Amino acid sequence: MRRRTTVALTCAAVIVAVGGIGATAVAGQQPGVTQTASMVPVGNGPDGSKVSLDTTLFVPKNLHGTAPAVILAHGFGGNKDDETSEALTLARHGYIALTYSARGFGNSGGQITLDSPDYEVKDASRLIDLLAKDPRVHLDKPGDPTVGIAGGSYGGALTLEAAGYDQRVDAIVPAITWNELGQSLFPQFAQTAPATNAADTAPIPVPGVFKKQWAADFFGTGSDAGVTPTTCGKFAAAYCAAYQASAAQGRPTPEMLALMAANSPARILDRIKAPTLLIQGEADSLFPLSEGDANAKGIAANGTPVKVVWYGGGHDGGLPETKRIDSLTLSWFGRYLKKDGTAPDTRFEVTVPNAALTASDSQPKPSVRVAPGLPGVTSTGSTPTQALNLTGGQQTVVAPAGGSPAALTGLPGFGSILGQVAQAGGLSSISQLPGQVATFETAPLTATLRLTGSSYVDLKVTGTAPDATLFASLLDVPSGSAQPVLPQSLVAPIQLSGPLNGGQTVRVALPAIVRDISTGHRLRVVISTTDQGYALPQTARAYQISLAAPTLSVPVLAVTALNPSNPALVWIGLGVVVLVLLAGWLVLRVRTARRIAAASDPALVDIPLVISGLGKAYQGGFRAVSDLSFQVEPGQVLGLLGPNGAGKTTTLRMLMGLIQPTEGEIRVFGHRISPGAPVLSRVGAFVEGPGFPPHLTGIDNLLLYWRAVGRPIEEAHLDIALEIAGLGEDIHRRTRTYSHGMLQRLGIAQAMLGLPELLVLDEPTNGLDPPQIREMRDVLSRYAATGRTVIISSHLLSEVEQTCTDVVVMDRGRLVAQGTVAELVGRGGSTLFGVDDEDATVRLANAMPGIISAGKSHDGVVMDLNGTPPADVVAALVAAGIKVDRVAPQRRLEEVFLTLVGQEHS
């Protein structure tokens, strides 16, 4: 969602940005380009506050006369700085470029209203007004500058809406964006139809399935967009409330759907007269190809020139094709802004991956194909189809309550790369759970099938539940033992409402994909009851699924190869580099993930952990953590102790960015922690028990995780991890067969992959036997001796005492005590003195005030000190001529813990 991640990695060549003008500051000058930054007032926000936008204007230094302008709109969570590179490229090609930070982002004021026509879209028109007043900008007529707009994702919707509401816009390049935002977050891919003659019946939309992981990433990024740690962040109150209500219900509220509809290009496509280069990503589970297809058809229906490009990237990574998209964008603006006389090119262009990433071929090069005059080819009826026979009888599938366990097909920002990594490791790129899927399959193909667009199948669903939530996918099944492939990890949710007792027939539009299916391969339609990316029914149910028609209709589009000598095709970097960049980005933005980390505190950059005034409250007034503050130094092994319900795990979850605190802050190496904070890449964690895809072996789980990290395998220190796991040959068994202790050891090994600077372990010895506990103790001590830091939450106090150098004790969410182990166990109680004359020591000690008793032991003299400092005793012994070579407390950590907790509960 953020331009610096989403578009920079998946559509970097799309020249997106937004701007403003003025002459208040000049910085970061580049050869041949003048940059001028200013704050531009644009009006009020929904809360009545006045809003100014942070802008930068880029002007060619050698400009003679006037030039057309381009406004660049950034992605969600980004700011104007993300567009600097694209603005410089435009300026060097003779354009005046304007970048800006949208409301609620960067240094701009205001609240986020998701490209509202009343706010963000009006801001774009005010920027056009300002460009019209700049004497360096070419005018079509007074007050009407020659201007284009480009943007990706959030900026792409702004681009479309600005062109629809302001007819002064002369050309646009929207990329990887939505047509209807409600459809994107609550997709309605399933349509019901009468049980008879289903193929000829117009589809009827039904309520959509909540795309919870992407929605959480979308709204969570906005919530972190400002410096005020509130529930709504920089979102306007109405948007925040609508999302929270929809998330709680697992389906869109009327208020949510109304807001999404008002801010969607779908309602104004017929107003767009600006020639449109529409770029949509094939690797995109957020805004899939169907969204771009709807935009293209709506704009082209009124005679506006439209060129559609499906490229290999998207919100889920894939192939960025940077230089090619750059060239297409410059050509489009050259034709319609500079009016350079080149012939219009509205051919449909599509990238076709030639091969999956494998160990033997790390640079698979795609091909680009074209078809004349098509705005898009995703929905049924838009292109000729070919019918393939399907086999498979009626099958019963089960949906577990709450969707747990759920199939894993993709993660926000990770779908495409997840599939590539799985293929590279020889694994299936889709997790299918037994009993949860129905499958239907074609015979082996007798010729290569060029699949470009969306296939569809007619199904019949029967059950006793009042509704059904299902997920459809189309797999490429190679011959032999090779694993099936789920292209781009895309699935289509299906929502059926109304009684299912008599069965409902539904036409399912499968995800739009681009792939050459080789001769001998088969196509498999998979219908699953679960998917981790979506909200699922809370009650268990079962369905019977069968084919309403025994055919799979696949699109047949006549495409030809684009001439590779065309200079517009100088486009792609190494595929393996893309893999590393995208996987590294995912680690920086866990789930969902693309949120902004707060600024670093230079004074704390060497301190592994600082917790200040931390608190966490839940609805109903329950407080799990209150006013917690402590600091962890490099090289420490810190034990986090407390009884059940003390707030230990809640604290660790806040440390990992899994939940947000109500008050206070956590800093790791000086960086404030927020969900997906980049500094979390320096942290290894094992919190709340192990969780692994059960169909993978132990070693495959470790390798899959490390490939997702994107670092070289030699940096994983896999041998150390395997030694820690201690699973022997069991490491090659599927984890569904593992005991709890084996899963525990595998989870700790995964946390230690790459030897992170800060290692956080929650109950690491749970399920381990005594020899394994002793080995773990030695491993952690050696680990900290290298200067790294370890935090352990444990209830085994004897192990903490032997392993940890420092301790923090919590009870009822509050700090009870902290210090070194030696300090805590040495506060009062018995003390052992190693002396050269034990009899003389006992006589002297029993005569001293402040000593309750003294007696000999096999290690020396043990004294019960009644508040007398051990140092005073040592001084008295030395003065009497007794040599002292050792002083040690005799109280154990368990006594200290019970005393502290007992005091809190008394």
- Check residue 807 and give its pLDDT: 87
DSSP letter, residue 124: H
* CB burial string 320-330: b at 16+ within 10 A, e below: bbbbbbbbbbb
Residue 181: what are its φ and ψ, rounded to 5°?
-65, -35
Cβ-proximal residues to 123 (8 Å cutoff; 6+ apart), any chain: 42, 43, 51, 53, 102, 103
Please state which of the ranges 347-356, 488-497, 567-576, 712-721 shows the lowest mean pLDDT. 567-576
DSSP string, 763-787: STTTT--HHHHHHHHHHHHHHHHTT
Determine the Cα–Cα distance for residues 220 and 217; give it in Å rounded to an integer: 5
pLDDT surpasses 70 at 682: yes
Please state which of the ranges 258-267, 555-564, 873-882 shows the lowest mean pLDDT. 555-564
Determine the Cα–Cα distance for residues 838 and 833; give it in Å rounded to an integer: 9
Q: What is the mean pLDDT of residues 694-705?
A: 83
Percent of the chain with pLDDT over 90: 32
Assign 178 to helix, strand or coil: coil
Quote the tokens at residue 511. Answer: 């995800």
Name the band, by pLDDT with cuts 50, 70 and 90, for residue 439.
very high
Q: Counting runs of H as helices and runs of E as strands, what totals does the chain give?
A: 22, 42
Are β-strands 560-561 and 367-371 bridged in parallel, bridged antiparallel, or unpaired? antiparallel
8 A C-beta contact, residue 203 and residue 212: no
Nearest CA among 645, 749, 642 for reference residue 698: 749
**Secondary structure, 3-state, 805-828:** CEEEEEECCEEEEEEEHHHHHCCC
pLDDT surpasses 80 at 566: no
Determine the Cα–Cα distance for residues 788 and 759; give it in Å rounded to an integer: 8
The model's pTM is 0.60
8 A C-beta contact, residue 94 and residue 338: yes
- Check residue 4 and give its pLDDT: 33
Quote the tokens at residue 788. Answer: 């790294």
Q: Is 556 exposed, middle or buried (0-12, 13-18, 19+ CB in 10 A)?
A: middle
Cβ-proximal residues to 72 (8 Å cutoff; 6+ apart), any chain: 15, 16, 17, 18, 19, 83, 86, 87, 90, 97, 98, 99, 149, 150, 151, 155
The neighbouring-strand residues paired with 664 are none
**Predicted confidence (pLDDT) per residue in 260-269, tens digit:** 888 899 999 9
Determine the Cα–Cα distance for residues 183 and 161; give it in Å rounded to an integer: 17
- Check residue 11 and give its pLDDT: 34
Determine the Cα–Cα distance for residues 789 and 307; give it in Å rounded to an integer: 55
Determine the Cα–Cα distance for residues 682 and 755; give it in Å rounded to an integer: 9
CA atoms within 13 A on the CB side of 576: 9
Quote the tokens at residue 883. Answer: 């040599």
Amino acid in the structure at residue 216: A
Determine the Cα–Cα distance for residues 800 and 784; give it in Å rounded to an integer: 14
Name the band, by pLDDT with cuts 50, 70 and 90, for residue 219.
low
The beta-strand segments (E) located in 687-796 are 758-762, 789-793
Q: For the packed helices 237-249 and 212-223, what is the interaxial angle rounded to 10 degrees?
A: 150
| Element containing residue 67 per DSSP (H, E) | none
* Best-predicted range by mean pLDDT (70-74, 503-507, 740-744): 70-74
Determine the Cα–Cα distance for residues 59 and 56; give it in Å rounded to an integer: 10
Name the band, by pLDDT with cuts 50, 70 and 90, for residue 155.
very high
- Check residue 201 and give its pLDDT: 36
* Best-predicted range by mean pLDDT (19-23, 675-679, 728-732): 728-732
CA atoms within 13 A on the CB side of 898: 8
8 A C-beta contact, residue 100 and residue 18: yes
Residue 747: what are its φ and ψ, rounded to 5°?
-65, -40
Is the bond preceding residue 68 a cis peptide, omega within 30 degrees? Answer: no
Largest CA distance in the chain: 109
**Predicted confidence (pLDDT) per residue in 257-293, tens digit:** 888 888 899 999 999 999 999 999 988 888 989 899 8
8 A C-beta contact, residue 470 and residue 527: yes
Percent of the chain with pLDDT over 70: 79
Sign of the dihedral through C-alpha 188, 193, 198, 203: negative
Question: Can you give the length of the chain in residues?
Answer: 906
Please state which of the ranges 5-9, 438-442, 757-761 shows the lowest mean pLDDT. 5-9
8 A C-beta contact, residue 291 and residue 178: yes
Cα 723 off chain centre by: 31
**Predicted confidence (pLDDT) per residue in 369-406, tens digit:** 888 866 555 544 556 788 999 999 999 998 888 777 77
- Check residue 336 and give its pLDDT: 96
* CB burial string 5-44: b at 16+ within 10 A, e below: bbbbbbbbbbbbbbbbbeeeeeeeeeeebebbbbbbebee
| Element containing residue 852 per DSSP (H, E) | strand 851-857
Q: What is the mean pLDDT of residues 446-456?
A: 90
Please state which of the ranges 236-245, 324-333, 464-473 shows the lowest mean pLDDT. 236-245
CB atoms within 10 A of CB 192: 21
| Element containing residue 45 per DSSP (H, E) | none
Cβ-proximal residues to 843 (8 Å cutoff; 6+ apart), any chain: none
Nearest CA among 596, 530, 548 for reference residue 217: 596
CB atoms within 10 A of CB 730: 18
8 A C-beta contact, residue 854 and residue 880: no
- Check residue 442 and give its pLDDT: 95
Mean pLDDT (the chain, rounded):
79
- Check residue 199 and give its pLDDT: 37
- Check residue 36 and give its pLDDT: 95
Strand order in the sheet with 884-889: 851-857, 860-865, 830-835, 884-889
Gyration radius (Cα) of the chain, Å: 32
Long-range CB pairs of 717-726, under 8 A, 24+ apart, other chains included = 717/752, 717/753, 717/754, 717/755, 718/753, 720/752, 720/755, 721/749, 721/750, 721/752, 721/753, 722/749, 724/748, 724/749, 724/752, 724/776, 724/779, 725/698, 725/749, 726/772, 726/775
The beta-strand segments (E) located in 413-485 are 437-441, 449-453, 456-463, 467-477
The neighbouring-strand residues paired with 205 are 191
Q: What is the mean pLDDT of residues 618-632?
A: 86
8 A C-beta contact, residue 265 and residue 164: yes
Nearest CA among 570, 648, 901, 636 for reference residue 786: 636
Determine the Cα–Cα distance for residues 433 and 175; give it in Å rounded to an integer: 35
Quote the tokens at residue 275. Answer: 């020639």
* CB burial string 431-457: b at 16+ within 10 A, e below: bbbeebbbbbbbeebeeebbbbbbbbb
- Check residue 21 and give its pLDDT: 27
Q: What is the mean pLDDT of residues 176-189?
A: 81
- Check residue 708 and give its pLDDT: 67
Determine the Cα–Cα distance for residues 496 and 503; give it in Å rounded to an integer: 11
Name the band, by pLDDT with cuts 50, 70 and 90, for residue 679.
confident
**Predicted confidence (pLDDT) per residue in 19-45, tens digit:** 222 333 333 455 689 999 999 999 999
CB atoms within 10 A of CB 197: 9
Give the angle subtended at the CA of 161 by the CAs of 157 and 167, to the nearest 5°: 145
Name the band, by pLDDT with cuts 50, 70 and 90, for residue 550.
very high
**584 or 844: which leads in pLDDT:** 844
Q: Is 90 exposed, middle or buried (0-12, 13-18, 19+ CB in 10 A)?
A: buried
